[in-house]
Amino acid sequence: MKNNKKYHVIIYILACILPIGIIPISLFICNISDYLTIIFCCLLAVMFILMLKNTSKTIKKVLFTVLTVIVMCAGLFGNYCNPYWNSISMQSNANRISKDIDTELTQKEALKDLDYAMHYLKKLHPACYNGLPDEINQRYEQVLNEIKSAETITVCDLCQKIEYIFSAFHDGHTYVKHIAENQLFPKDLYTHINNGEIIVAINGIDTAELCRQKQDFYSFEVESYQRVLFSSDISNLSGLKYLGFDADEGITFTYETSDGTKEDVTYFTADFLPYDEYVKYNDIPQNNNDETPFVYYEIDEDKSLAILTLTSCRYNDEYISCVKEMFEQVKKLNIRNIAVDLRYNGGGSSLVANEFIRYLPVDEWKSTKHIWRLGCFKIPFKNNTTENEKYTDLTFDGKVYLLTSSASFSSAMLFPLFFKDNNMGTIIGEAPGNTPKSYGDVSIFKLPNSQLFMSISTKEFFRPDENNPVNLVEPDVPCESNEVFEILYEQIEK
């Protein structure tokens, strides 16, 4: 009898571990079926009842009850309210490459991918808290019927259809995209672009008009950012296929020089080269040193200017060390101007801005307010006042400039937004690629059959300056992104 009780206790302990133990597995290792949580919770419930029957002491019954309730709640919350359940966001070794864009999927496989995408969209996106918005639901029903009417569908077509649904959110952080294993480029594209030529038409269609026609193929908040995404797609073979062009039949680019001269160049499949061959073909100069760091600085003593270039918002030791070293040099050389170049920065962590601000003579500043969607809960974070833990020995009281472009996105938009709404610096360039009132803080997935890359927002953000009606980070000194340094030097001279 005692042995039976001992075995029951062991099984009960295992039953307590399982609902919680699968949570880190889903976060860091592999996908776990949602139903497994329910099965393990049911097993725990059975063992709980058995333990109560075999226990006469009231205190033990209370302890078993409390423990069972805590474990079941933790297990259910860790699955159904966890934005990173089955996400690859925390899986550092996750393969993010999609299947070949021409791969054919069966109707069943395509429907499974669509269902997977919609499941996590409904679960995570703040705009879906009360169900799918009408326009999203209408597009979903349309896509569902189109897939059901087809025997097979290519990965390319599936990507277009799911993105057609997602694009209706006008949320640049929520999208589905194809990531090619080996990207192929038009063989002499670099030479044309390097000569100052621009692509004005593809197969006779004006690129501006083509970009407008393909709006539903992209998730964006600001039209200029759609042009950034579109420009990226027309520079490689998988992107051109996504836009509906067939290299087997030939794709004609119309290049235009600065004096208005136009030249048509037709590329067939064999004219698209992998990157290494593309570099050799165009004789692109290569830096033999280590890869260019994502953050670095330069100092121009003559102009009393330090320029911090940040190509990605990574908050790590390398960033912290680089910024500290720059401010040490700024103090040593009595530099009076600092510019932060964020023009081609796609985002990352907003903490890069927080760290930079610690070197400024600011006691407190306003960040964004936000609401976090956690399954059936929406948790508001209304206190957006940040106490500035200053580096008092390196405080910089000169002028700060933020250099931006339409490719400055996500946290690279928040950086200048914080400076704009707290009057801490001057923004030069173009409005960044997304809006202050927007969605973000994404969870990342791969669709099971097509292996398409999927990103879904989990938070809704609001502008620090609630009285500012403009839903853009408008530059204080607007100019083309390639003119920012010319304008910066003019500002310093003033």
Q: What is the domain-level CATH number for residue 207?
A: 2.30.42
pLDDT reported for residue 127: 97
Q: Low-confidence residues of the chain, pLDDT below 70?
A: 1-5, 287-290
Task: Find out whether 234 and 189 touch, Cβ atoms under 8 Å.
Answer: no
pLDDT reported for residue 1: 45
- Please count the structural domains in the chain: 4
Give the integer Cα–Cα distance in Å for 136 and 308: 41
Q: Is residue 373 situated within a structural domain?
A: yes
Residue numbers of the domain that contains 222: 184-281
Residue that is last in its domain, among 177, 202, 233 = 177
Give the integer Cα–Cα distance in Å for 118 and 390: 45
pLDDT reported for residue 288: 52
pLDDT reported for residue 287: 66
| CATH value at residue 147 | 1.20.920.70
- Specify whether 428 is located in the same domain as 310: yes
Report the DSSP beta bridge partners of residue 273: 185
Q: Is residue 218 situated within a structural domain?
A: yes
- Specify whether 167 is located in the same domain as 188: no
Q: Is residue 461 situated within a structural domain?
A: no
Give the integer Cα–Cα distance in Å for 223 and 212: 9
Say which amino acid occupies 195. N
- Specify whether 299 is located in the same domain as 378: yes
Q: Is residue 240 situated within a structural domain?
A: yes
**pTM higher than 0.85, yes or no?**
yes
- Specify whether 271 is located in the same domain as 311: no
Strands 175-177 and 453-462, sheet pairing: antiparallel
- Specify whether 36 is located in the same domain as 74: yes
pLDDT reported for residue 285: 84
Task: Find out whether 370 and 461 touch, Cβ atoms under 8 Å.
Answer: yes
Residue 374: is it exposed, middle or buried by C-beta count within 10 angstroms (0-12/13-18/19+)?
middle
Give the integer Cα–Cα distance in Å for 190 and 280: 11
Q: In what order do the strands lie in the sheet with 399-404?
A: 295-300, 305-310, 337-341, 399-404, 426-429, 477-478
Q: Is residue 90 situated within a structural domain?
A: no
Task: Find out whether 292 and 276 touch, Cβ atoms under 8 Å.
Answer: no
Interaxial angle between packed helices 34-53 and 2-28, expressed in degrees from 0 to 180 and rounded to the nearest 10:
160
Q: Is residue 414 situated within a structural domain?
A: yes
pLDDT reported for residue 3: 55
Condensed to tens digits (0 to 9), the pLDDT of residues 207-222 reads 999 999 999 999 999 9
From the list 83, 162, 136, 135, the residue with the least C-alpha distance to 440 is 83
pLDDT reported for residue 353: 97
Q: Is residue 415 situated within a structural domain?
A: yes
- Specify whether 331 is located in the same domain as 372: yes
What per-residue string of b and e applies to 8-42 under the rule 16 or more CB within 10 Å gives b? Answer: beeebeebbebbbebbeebbeeeebeeebbeebbe
Give the integer Cα–Cα distance in Å for 286 and 190: 14
- Specify whether 355 is located in the same domain as 215: no
pLDDT reported for residue 153: 97
- Specify whether 164 is located in the same domain as 188: no
Name residues whose C-beta falls within 8 Å of residue 48's C-beta, 6 or more positions apart in sequence: 12, 64, 65, 68
